[in-house]
Amino acid sequence: RATLTPLGSWAVWVKLEQICVAAQSPAGNIEQSAAAMLHGCARLTPGPARAEYQAWLAARPVGHAVSELLHAARGEDALLRGLAFEALRVVGAPAEREVRGALREPALRPYALLWLAEHDGVDPDDAQDVLTAEESTWLWVDTAAAIADHGEADLLARHLDSAVRTTVPRLLDEVRAVGHPRTVQVLVALAAAHPDPALAKAVRRAAFQVHTGGV
């Protein structure tokens, strides 16, 4: 008669727990691709979204899951990029090697730096300090792109106001300088969303200058 060693019993228990977690996916994203799963979690609050990430991750090998999440993060949808790294926070240490590899990719570097800082124990409120000014600005534009695509106008206006630490012209100079591929669309959306006519005009002018290659 076959018997299990204590280690074998533990391994079976872990697998059963994974199966149970995978079965507890109220949003039904278990069999979806990473991109589809992240889309499905976009409207969830952090707690339910984390439960979905855990269920999705439990249903597939961790290496494959990490690669698929990073592949989704490389797409054009900035919201999925942010959500992919939220899911990678659930993975934890097994994702570290591939996240470090993402430092070489400009679109992923700010997210990877924040992930690694938090993984090393830095308080999330202080993690932004690991970014250069250019990386912070790139992330700000990427976040604005996510809001423009999926959020509401008032949220986009608040996002602009939150970045104005000195002057609007200086902010717009920094935004133009980082070369984010969505810069024009973001600036146009910001101009349309902001209730201040003078500020909106300055943002539209900046969008035109980026579009035409002007200074």
Cα–chain center distance at 67: 15
| 1, part of any domain | no
The pLDDT of 7-11, averaged and rounded, is: 45
What are the CA-CA distances from residue 162 to residues 87, 97, 100 (Å)? 26, 33, 29
Residue predicted with more confidence, 83 or 211:
83
How many angstroms separate the first and last alpha carbons of the chain? 80
* pLDDT surpassing 80 at residue 12: no
- Co-location of 167 and 72 in the same domain: no
| 86, part of any domain | yes
- Co-location of 181 and 80 in the same domain: no
Token pair 């090998």 in the structure block, residue: 61
- pLDDT per residue over 59-87, tens digit each? 999 999 999 999 999 999 999 999 999 99
| 126, part of any domain | yes
Give the pLDDT score at 36: 94
Token pair 């902001």 in the structure block, residue: 194
Give the domain-ending residue among 109, 130, 151.
130
The answer to whether the CB of 142 falls within 8 A of the CB of 109 is no
Give the pLDDT score at 97: 97
pTM of the prediction? 0.83
Give the pLDDT score at 15: 43
Count CA atoms closer than 13 A to 85's CA, side-chain side. Answer: 23
Give the pLDDT score at 10: 46
Supply the range of the domain harboring residue 180: 133-212
- pLDDT per residue over 148-206, tens digit each? 998 888 888 888 887 756 677 888 889 989 999 999 999 999 999 988 899 889 999 98
- Co-location of 62 and 119 in the same domain: yes
Q: What is the dihedral of CA 18, 44, 77, 35, to 10 degrees?
A: 30
- pLDDT per residue over 73-122, tens digit each? 999 999 999 999 999 999 999 999 999 999 999 999 999 999 999 999 99
- Co-location of 142 and 49 in the same domain: no
Give the pLDDT score at 172: 87
| 20, part of any domain | yes
Least confidently predicted of 34-38, 65-69, 206-210: 206-210
Give the pLDDT score at 67: 98
